[in-house]
């Protein structure tokens, strides 16, 4: 072996052992196309509207409160503050074990509690207090889903149940203690055997008039309370949803307060608690399972705003109809659906802001020999991947604000409408969020797979949105069932439609032109007419199909089940029409100008992508094949018109840099050797 080879191998081994940088002769020089250039440099001349004003439209309320909380989290190392390429980022450390993530969730709650974040979340009254709570909860969810869910279970579900289902004796004893975290609450509704079918839960509570106590029992394994957030480690108390048995008669599902741990964290007698285990996301939440072995609680622990039991054991309720009583007991879920729907919109905003910023700086392939590589967002195909999703999020932002305003200004008369619309939006927004996350992940290539870039991690974290607070498919069928009831009532009583946006059913059916021009297709009048036509026709078809199944000897319930295809189509039509109507109203309220113009483009893209993606428009003949083709051809045109505004549109989300990810900024430097060594 010659001495040159020996010397060379010795040098290589020495460099490996010393971790010396490569010699100058082996350094790779950056190509010009790989030098990161902030998109602001190339895109600033395209900004035609005030992004701060656009943010006011999109957030709708409590901007100062939001920014205050953003600052609290960004400034504190408890929120995993780190610096990359001179820029601060915050996000949970998902490399931590499940136990560590849970511990960090509680530490962050304590930090926020000490700084007054939760002030008035339960003890405050009025729409403004509720809007502040919703705004701050949205910001928390943008940082960490586990933190938002842990708070949501404690405040919105446990606290909401005490507030809405309890009376003064419960409010005085539990609300302030809940808000101050003197106790930790959870919400035991779902069971191993029954999730969406709450009416079928198997936990049994009986009243013992000899002692004046209720006795809660888990009679079988499928009755164990399952997926109960907070139960595995931290909760001291729970709301137990259970069948109430009085003198051998089942009075249906009712809600009770039970203590499951003492103040030292010891599990109470006759209660067993087990872990649900590691999950695909949300590992900062301690989901647990609970069994009750004839657990005795005071009679006063029945949440009695809907129904009560006297000391002697007499069942008392002003609501005589069992179905209406059951509906009243599900009231706390409405706030959950509202917060889930809105949270989905904000997570989609984060993913789109990251993916679009990346697409404005990442280049791939050249279209001329030896020419420069092309920005991802300059490819029409890439525009059509991301910009229709951007339009949908703008549309859903306006719809979510309207939903929140309906919720905080609710009345007994509006509760039914809020239930239907919150169910529709919860399903539609959460499905859209998962699709957006997947598309953004793919649009970011390999960088989208990195946990630090958030989008890929969000997929596991937010997948559960499609399931909890009501399975999305079940919710969409509930919407169709409610619309069918309205349709039958108006038909049989010969009265006009009123509410739920169905007033268009009182007018003559819209007529779609036989040949569509570009200007017609982009007009809001045509778009809402087309959405109205789809909704009214599907409602009529659905009613006729259910009636036909009944005439063939099927029960009303089974006839509805058999008509599930039309039910799904109708639920989608209702949701998309409601969203479009809200968008049109928001756009119409603006004066003429650049902001109104860009919203007009977004509104058209939202409407047309909904048409292009729903086969119902062709299936039932609302559009001819020629007109459907004409609509489809407008989508890439609109994407091209929106392309110059892309950066300004995501900047209008008002999301701090720290809540995005390294990929959204100088992704070359954040992946450099020096960054890796640091």
Catalytically active residues, by annotation: 469
Whole-angstrom Cα distance, residue 633 to residue 116? Answer: 52
Q: Is 229 annotated as a binding residue?
A: yes
Q: Which two tokens stand for residue 179?
A: 């808000």
Whole-angstrom Cα distance, residue 296 to residue 216? Answer: 6
57 Cβ contact partners less than 8 Å away, ≥ 6 residues apart: 397, 398, 586, 595
Whole-angstrom Cα distance, residue 86 to residue 81? Answer: 12
Backbone dihedral angles phi then psi of residue 556, each to the nearest 5 degrees: -60, -40
Q: Which two tokens stand for residue 98?
A: 């499940």
What is the number of alpha carbons within 13 Å of residue 61 lying toward its C-beta? 20
Closest by Cα among 215, 281, 196, 248 to 475: 196
CA distances from 466 to 24, 191, 238, 463, 600 (A): 54, 18, 24, 6, 30
Closest by Cα among 606, 571, 239, 118 to 390: 606
Whole-angstrom Cα distance, residue 221 to residue 216? Answer: 15
513 Cβ contact partners less than 8 Å away, ≥ 6 residues apart: 520
Backbone dihedral angles phi then psi of residue 55, each to the nearest 5 degrees: -60, -40
Helix (H, G, I), strand (E, B) or coil at 268: coil
Query: Which residues pair with residue 367 across a beta bridge?
Result: none
Closest by Cα among 249, 419, 440, 436 to 337: 419
Q: Are 574 and 367 in contact (CB under 8 A)?
A: no
3-state helix, strand, coil in the chain (%, to 5): 60, 10, 30
Q: Which two tokens stand for residue 648?
A: 């300004």
334 Cβ contact partners less than 8 Å away, ≥ 6 residues apart: 407, 415, 418, 419, 422
Helix (H, G, I), strand (E, B) or coil at 302: strand
Backbone dihedral angles phi then psi of residue 536, each to the nearest 5 degrees: -70, -35
Closest by Cα among 102, 454, 431, 555 to 286: 102
Please state, as a whole number, how many other Cβ atoms lie within 10 Å of the Cβ of residue 631.
21
CA distances from 437 to 97, 280, 353, 465, 656 (A): 24, 15, 11, 13, 19
Helix (H, G, I), strand (E, B) or coil at 678: coil
Whole-angstrom Cα distance, residue 424 to residue 136? Answer: 24
Q: Are 237 and 259 in contact (CB under 8 A)?
A: yes
Element (H, E) at 436: helix 415-443
Query: Which residues pair with residue 291 across a beta bridge?
Result: 272
> Which spans in 282-414 are helix H?
322-329, 332-359, 380-408
CA distances from 647 to 159, 374, 390, 598 (A): 40, 17, 11, 13
CA distances from 615 to 73, 443, 573 (A): 45, 25, 11
- DSSP secondary structure letter of residue 372: P
- DSSP secondary structure letter of residue 211: T
Closest by Cα among 36, 46, 255, 243 to 167: 255
Query: Which residues pair with residue 356 across a beta bridge?
Result: none
Binding residues for FAD: 229
Binding residues: 229
């Amino acid at each position: 072996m010659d001495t040159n080879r020996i010397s060379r191998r010795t040098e290589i081994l020495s460099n490996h052992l010393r971790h010396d940088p490569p010699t100058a002769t082996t350094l790779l020089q950056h190509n010009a196309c790989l030098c990161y250039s902030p998109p602001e440099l190339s895109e600033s001349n395209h900004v035609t509207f005030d992004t701060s004003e656009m943010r006011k439209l999109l957030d709708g309320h409590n901007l100062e409160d939001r920014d205050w909380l953003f600052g609290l989290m960004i400034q504190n190392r408890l929120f995993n503050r780190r610096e990359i390429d001179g820029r601060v980022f915050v996000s949970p450390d998902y490399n931590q074990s499940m136990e560590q993530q849970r511990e960090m969730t509680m530490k962050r709650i304590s930090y926020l509690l000490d700084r007054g974040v939760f002030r008035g979340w339960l003890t405050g009254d009025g729409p403004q207090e509720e809007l502040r709570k919703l705004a701050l909860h949205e910001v928390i969810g943008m940082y960490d889903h586990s933190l938002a869910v842990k708070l949501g279970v404690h405040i919105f579900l446990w606290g909401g149940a005490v507030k809405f289902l309890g009376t003064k004796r419960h409010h005085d004893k539990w609300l302030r203690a809940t808000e101050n975290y003197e106790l930790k609450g959870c919400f035991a509704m779902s069971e191993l055997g029954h999730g969406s079918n709450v009416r079928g839960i198997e936990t049994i509570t009986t009243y013992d008039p000899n002692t004046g106590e209720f006795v809660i029992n888990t009679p079988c394994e499928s009755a164990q309370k399952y997926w109960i957030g907070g139960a595995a480690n931290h909760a001291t108390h729970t709301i137990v949803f259970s069948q109430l048995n009085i003198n051998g008669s089942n009075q249906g599902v009712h809600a009770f307060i039970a203590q499951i741990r003492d103040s030292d964290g010891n599990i109470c007698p006759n209660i067993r608690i087990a872990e649900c285990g590691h999950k695909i996301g949300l590992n900062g939440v301690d989901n647990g399972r609970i069994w009750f072995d004839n657990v005795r609680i005071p009679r006063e622990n029945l949440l009695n705003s809907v129904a009560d039991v006297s000391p002697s054991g007499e069942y008392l309720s002003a609501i005589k109809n069992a179905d209406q009583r059951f509906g009243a007991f599900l009231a706390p879920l409405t706030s959950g659906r509202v917060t889930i729907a809105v949270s989905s919109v904000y997570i989609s905003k984060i993913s789109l802001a990251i993916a679009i910023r990346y697409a404005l700086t990442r280049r791939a392939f050249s279209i001329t020999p030896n020419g420069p590589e092309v920005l991802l967002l300059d490819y029409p195909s890439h525009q059509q991947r991301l910009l229709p999703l951007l339009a949908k999020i703008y549309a859903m932002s306006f719809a979510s604000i309207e939903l929140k305003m309906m919720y905080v200004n609710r009345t007994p008369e509006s509760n039914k409408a809020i239930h239907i619309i919150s169910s529709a939006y919860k399903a539609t927004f959460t499905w859209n969020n998962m699709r957006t996350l997947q598309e953004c992940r793919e649009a970011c290539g390999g960088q989208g797979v990195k946990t630090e870039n958030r989008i890929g991690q969000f997929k596991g974290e937010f997948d559960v949105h499609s399931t909890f607070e009501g399975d999305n498919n079940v919710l969409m069928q509930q919407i169709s069932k409610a619309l069918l009831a309205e349709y039958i009532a108006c038909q049989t009583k010969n009265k006009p439609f009123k509410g739920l946006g169905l007033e268009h059913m009182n007018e003559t059916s819209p007529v779609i032109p036989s040949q569509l021009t570009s200007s017609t297709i982009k007009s809001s009048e045509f778009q809402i007419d087309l959405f109205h036509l789809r909704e009214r026709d599907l409602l009529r078809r659905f009613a006729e199909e259910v009636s036909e199944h009944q005439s063939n000897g099927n029960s009303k319930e089974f006839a509805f089940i058999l008509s599930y295809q039309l039910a799904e189509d109708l639920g989608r039509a209702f949701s998309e029409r409601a969203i479009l109507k809200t968008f049109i109203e928001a756009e119409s309220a603006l004066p003429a100008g650049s902001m109104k113009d860009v919203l007009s483009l977004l509104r058209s893209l939202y409407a047309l992508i909904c048409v292009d993606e729903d086969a119902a428009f062709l299936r039932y003949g609302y559009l001819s094949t020629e007109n459907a083709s004409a609509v489809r051809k407008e989508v890439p045109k609109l994407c091209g018109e929106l392309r110059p505004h892309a950066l300004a549109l995501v900047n209008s989300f008002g999301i701090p840099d720290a809540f995005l990810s390294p990929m959204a900024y100088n992704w070359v430097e954040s992946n450099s050797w020096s960054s890796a060594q640091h």
